[in-house]
Structure 1
Amino acid sequence: MTTPPPEPHRRRSVFAGLRASFLTGLVVIAPIGLTVWIMWTVAGWVDSWVLPMVPHPWRPEQYVGINLRGIGVLIFLLFTIVVGWLAKGLIGRSLLRAGERLVDRMPVVRSVYNGLKQIAETVLSQGEAKFDKACLIEYPRPGLKAVAFVSSRAKGEIASNADPDDPLISVFLPTTPNPTSGFLLFVPQSQITYLNMGVEDAAKLIISAGLVYPSPKSPDKPATKERAPQ
């Protein structure tokens, strides 16, 4: 019995080659273009807030002749550094305490200021890392898993209502594709599976809706349930 001759290799059409090249170029250009667009937009937004506060004779366009985007960002950074440097000194601390005492006398302003101050001190604290672990928890029902970020061990009244042998851990469960919103959950430590991936890799996984998976750093090291924040 004779075998049929092999079919001749079909060459890809010109259109298929152009489409493949277009998709490859899109993969390269899209992240760069989106990054530049986001940075350009943020710089313009900061400029629109900062430059109107600068006296007209001191604005750069008076000397350059054009509106340089990003000057407001530079002014904001320099101003913030100067304020931080002054706040470390004796005079700066005295003025800051005097201002806070004045704010404490205003009922509504006091609540807003104290809340924002506490959030800023917690997020920007340099002494203790925040959201330094990614984990898996069962959500929204047993059997389903969700990626979350570990915050800290529960304290105060919340901790007193937990089992001493199985303390509650506060975790932040972000939403997809916007991880800035989400839910604060208090989960027993025994029900948390800590992941080896970092917070940035977990954030990429959430933002991409599961399309971007980080490469495992230690394939032989499985996820553990033993670690817990202090």
Structure 2
Amino acid sequence: MGGILKGKLKSIFLTGLAVITPIGLTLYILTFIIDLMDDLLTIIPKRYQPDTLLPFHIPGLGIIVTVILIFICGLLTQSYFGNKFVVWGERLVDKIPIVRSIYQAIKRIADGMFKGTGQTFKKVVLVEFPRKGMYSVGFVTGRPNEEIRTRVGKDGNYISLFVPTAPNPTTGFFFDGAGRRVDLYGHAGGRGFYTYYFRRHCYPA
């Protein structure tokens, strides 16, 4: 009798834990993001900060300000002079070895996620990595640029891949390789990220 009761209580506890854990983590992450955005307001001079001008604190105001700044940045970048300024800045960054590598990797991901068209980050693949016989989930980000195709040869059906790392999917490895060596995986991009978290690698038995 005691064993049955113990098992029942354990089952109830684990069920409750399975429900509360994702809710708690979601609320924690949202709170962290809101606080992080609010901290961005500290770049504004103290006398002009909302907490100084208003008699009360408005949680999440930093998100609104950040969204507005992003829109302004987008408008300026789409203008002729704004675009020229961005191109000039990228050329400047391109001359700094370490910074160049970091910036290009982040920009490539950002372009694929926010500006990409066609199959960018929408086609999921299984690529043989990190060693023979082991496969990782990756995402097609497009095709190599002209310089890379010239160096490796234009005859191959080369594609660019991004293989995310765990537990942070914003970091990972970029590959440029022959498309015939990649097994296409029948998932859309969003489903691919789900697969990435729950089945990170596939091994031969």
Given that residues 171 and 184 in structure 1 are in contact (C-alpha distance below 8 angstroms), is that contact kept between their aligned partners in structure 2?
Answer: yes
* Structure with greater contact order relative to length (CA < 8 Å, sep ≥ 6): 2
Residue 225 of structure 1 is matched in structure 2 by: none
Going from structure 1 to structure 2, the CA distance change for 1:116 and 1:178 (only over 3 Å counts) comes to closer
Going from structure 1 to structure 2, the CA distance change for 1:163 and 1:104 (only over 3 Å counts) comes to closer
Match of 1:31 among 22, 44, 55: 22
SS of the aligned residue for 2:159 comes to: strand
Instruction: Pick the structure with greater CA Rg.
Output: 1
Going from structure 1 to structure 2, the CA distance change for 1:14 and 1:156 (only over 3 Å counts) comes to same
SS of the aligned residue for 2:59 comes to: coil
Match of 2:33 among 33, 39, 42: 42
Deviation at residue 149 of structure 1 after TM alignment: 0.9
Given that residues 154 and 169 in structure 1 are in contact (C-alpha distance below 8 angstroms), is that contact kept between their aligned partners in structure 2?
Answer: yes
Match of 2:11 among 20, 44, 64: 20
The one-letter code matched in structure 1 to 2:107 is: I
- Structure 1 spans left out of the alignment, 5+ residues: 1-9, 212-230
Deviation at residue 172 of structure 1 after TM alignment: 1.2
Deviation at residue 78 of structure 1 after TM alignment: 2.2
Going from structure 1 to structure 2, the CA distance change for 1:54 and 1:70 (only over 3 Å counts) comes to farther
Given that residues 177 and 209 in structure 1 are in contact (C-alpha distance below 8 angstroms), is that contact kept between their aligned partners in structure 2?
Answer: no
Structure 1 or 2: more helix by fraction: 2
The one-letter code matched in structure 2 to 1:194 is: L
Residue 198 of structure 1 is matched in structure 2 by: 188
Given that residues 176 and 209 in structure 1 are in contact (C-alpha distance below 8 angstroms), is that contact kept between their aligned partners in structure 2?
Answer: no
Count of residue pairs brought into register by the alignment? 194
Question: C-alpha distance in 1, partners of 2:73/2:145?
Answer: 33
Residue 141 of structure 2 is matched in structure 1 by: 151
**Farther off after superposition, 51-60 or 14-23:** 51-60
Is 1:189 aligned to 2:179, yes or no?
Answer: yes
In the superposition, the TM-score normalised over structure 2's length comes to 0.74
Residue 138 of structure 1 is matched in structure 2 by: 128
In the superposition, the TM-score normalised over structure 1's length comes to 0.67
